[in-house]
Amino acid sequence: MSLSSIPLQERPALVRQYFNKLGISGFIITRGDEYLGEYVAPHSERLAWLTGFTGSAGLAILLEEKGSVFSDGRYTVQMAEQAPSTLWKTHHSGHVPPRQWLSQNGQGLRIGYDPRLTSQRDLSSWQTAGVQLIPLSENPIDLAWHDQPPPPADLIYHQPFNLTGETSQSKRNRLAQQLREEGQDAIILADCPSLAWLLNIRGQDIAMTPVAHAYGILHADSTATIFADASRFHDEIEDSGIHPRHPDELPDALKALSSKVVRVDPATTPVWFNMMLKEAGAHIIDATDICTLPKAIKTVVEQDGSRQAHELDSIALARFLYWLEEHGIGHHETELAEKLETFRAMSPAYKGPSFETISAAGQNGAYPHYRAEVGRDSILQENSVYLVDSGAQYPFGTTDITRTVWTGPDEAPPAIRQAFTAVLKGHIALSRQRFPVGLPGYRLDSLARSALWNQGLDFDHGTGHGIGSYLSVHEGPQSISVAPRPTGLVPGMILSNEPGYYEVGAYGIRIENLLLVRESSLPEGTRPSLEFEVLTHTPIDRRLIAIEQLTTEERHWLDRYHAVVLDKLLPLLETELHPWLKRNCAPLS
């Protein structure tokens, strides 16, 4: 990814030139943009521009004489490869938190940060004794980045009722009722997916996530203001309760909340809003974004839309996996990703990827968020492991799927089949588990790891994340991970199920389906329970399974899963693919 004509090695020095002018001795650079999103436009790739690190999570701290880059376990290898070691040290943020690093390296210093790019939660996590954190009105990276792309301001589209299942007025009425019950006059909406969900709008300001860059305010009378130029609206706003205003009017709108009780989510709202509201004399209530939970609970219409999206996606994946088996050997990883894209694009409903495809051959699969680049990507070899993690956006749903395949023709080595089977056992255990209504996802996480733990193995990422409805492929508040997040699972939520194992220098394994939480049918008198409906219907590579390691129940589950895949896909695929599909969906011997 080319972000600038300025050589990477020269960029830290260019930024440091502005430290004295801004009255600081260092600067904290976050990954997020002005909307604190996971995916950002080229204009906001400040962390990548400065350090070379292109992961979707992390931050850097630049001092006069040193600098460090931080991210989680998904990106430790990628950080070390992309950030020049002559300029940056890289750290696993779970092992060396930024607060700890600042405490050791920033004593007595004034460290700047951009309040428009920083949440209150993040700011609190950096604070440590002896270090002054200074909000800046100018960002030194923006000052140094002379060929920075302009910020996006694309069209904003209406998401119709037949795709949402609920009008914006209905959503605003019930959330405004919650504001009134909690004694709050308004809530700041800085999270673009929340604003998109509440107002039933979509946009294309960033790749892969169909949102519009805009801020909003929901008032307790159920009216909402969206701060976006009127020229951006593709469809006329017929809802009289939604008021568009120019972004330049946002400061005055915040001043008008003087003496009002205003709800602000400390995790999704830039600190700049807190500063403006405090200056205006508003009473700030730190509380979660009230759109987050209802957005995660899909309407019946959205659930049906997700099923439709996964049907189209399963057709594309079947065509790709068939082609891969017949013609994939000798192709570069980027070529394989492009081929998968062409199969998805065969559907007129396809809107584009939901994230950048992870196409990883051999040892590259050991990097959970590997990114293949033209000219630097590997060639798919025979008798190796290939991991492909990809997703799609359709107007009625968002998908995310990972498959790991063996390229043959020889039998996969026992160690690889043993590891793959342990991952599969965890995947099956989670898929078939019934559980009480409202059980937090972290209580299920060990199901996906148990078989790996029994072999002394594990994986350093979450097991499952929420999925949006033609929105972000990563959505909260629900999750399945070791982190003890308290959100209970309820019917209508969609999560991924993606345990894995990564042998550095050799291969990576991950199996991912999407799951819909639904009510479970149990005998009368038993405790109400939930279960998962599997939305993804794509064969799991039998060549990597050590069948003898599966229990009878696990074999039956996989046979039933493949029977459903066969039943759904056979009528939808070309006859040329039928023998391949039948072979890959046959019962285990």
Per the document, the length of the chain is 589
Q: Which of 571, 574, 546, 569 is nearest to 558 (CA)?
A: 546
Strand intervals (E) in 82-199: 89-92, 110-113, 132-135, 156-158, 186-189
Q: Which residue shows structure tokens 């493949």? A: 562
- Tell how strand 67-71 and strand 89-92 pair up: parallel
Binned at pLDDT 50, 70 and 90, residue 526 comes out as confident
Is it the case that residue 1 has pLDDT exceeding 60? no
- By DSSP bridging, strand 132-135 and strand 110-113 are parallel
Please report the pLDDT score of residue 456 as a whole number. Answer: 97
Q: Give pLDDT, residue 76.
A: 86
Distance set, CA 367 to CA 135, 389, 402, 484, 508 (Å): 35, 12, 14, 25, 7
Q: What is the average per-residue pLDDT within 538-567?
A: 98
- Structural tokens at position 273: 């809003």
Answer yes or no: are the C-beta atoms of 154 and 212 closer than 8 Å. Answer: yes
456: exposed, middle or buried (C-beta count within 10 Å: 0-12, 13-18, 19+)? Answer: exposed
Its pTM stands at 0.94
Residue type, 49: W
Contact by Cβ (8 Å): 568, 543: no
Per the prediction, the chain carries an average pLDDT of: 96
Interval 310-347: pLDDT, tens? 999 999 999 999 999 999 999 999 999 999 999 999 99
Is the pLDDT reported for residue 162 higher than 80? Answer: yes
pLDDT score, position 521: 85
Non-local CB neighbours of 564 within 8 Å, separated by 6+ positions: 534, 537
- pLDDT greater than 90 at residue 522: no
Rounded average pLDDT over 375-395: 97
User: What token pair was written down for 475?
Assistant: 């959505």
What tens digit of pLDDT does each residue of 9-50 get? 999 999 999 999 999 999 999 998 999 988 899 999 999 999
Kindly report, residue by residue over 171-203, the tens digit of the pLDDT.
Answer: 999 999 999 999 999 999 999 999 999 999 999
Say how far residue 361 (Cα) sits from the centre of its chain: 23
Exposed/middle/buried for residue 181 (C-beta within 10 Å: 0-12, 13-18, 19+): exposed
Q: How confident is the model at residue 2 (pLDDT cuts 50, 70, 90)?
A: low
Tell me if the domain spanning 156-295 has CATH number 3.90.550.10. no
In the CATH scheme, what is the homologous superfamily, with its name and number, of domain 8-144?
A: Creatinase/prolidase N-terminal domain (3.40.350.10)
Residue range 84-89: mean pLDDT, rounded: 95
Residue 177 neighbours by CB under 8 Å, 6+ apart: none
**Predicted pLDDT at 458:** 97
Determine the residue type at 210: P
Least confident of 70-79, 94-103, 392-401, 461-470: 70-79
Domains 156-295 and 297-555 share a fold: no
Task: List, for residues 251-261, the tens digit of each pLDDT value.
Answer: 999 999 999 99
Determine the pLDDT at residue 527: 87
Question: Which residues, 6 or more positions from 447, have their beta carbon under 8 angstroms from its beta carbon?
Answer: 426, 429, 430, 433
Mean pLDDT across 439-448? 98
Nearest Cα to 60, choosing from 113, 19, 129? 113
Domain layout of the chain by residue ranges: 8-144, 156-295, 297-555
Q: Count of CB atoms within 10 A of residue 163's CB?
A: 20
Question: In this model, does residue 589 exceed pLDDT 80?
Answer: no
Of the listed ranges 237-241, 345-349, 528-532, the least confidently predicted one is 237-241
User: Which CATH code of 3.40.50.720, 3.40.640.10, 3.40.140.10, 3.90.230.10 fits the domain covering 297-555?
Assistant: 3.90.230.10
553 CB neighbour count, 10 Å cutoff:
11
Confidence band of 430 (pLDDT split at 50, 70, 90): very high
Average pLDDT for residues 392-405, to the nearest whole number? 98
Average pLDDT over residues 347-355: 97
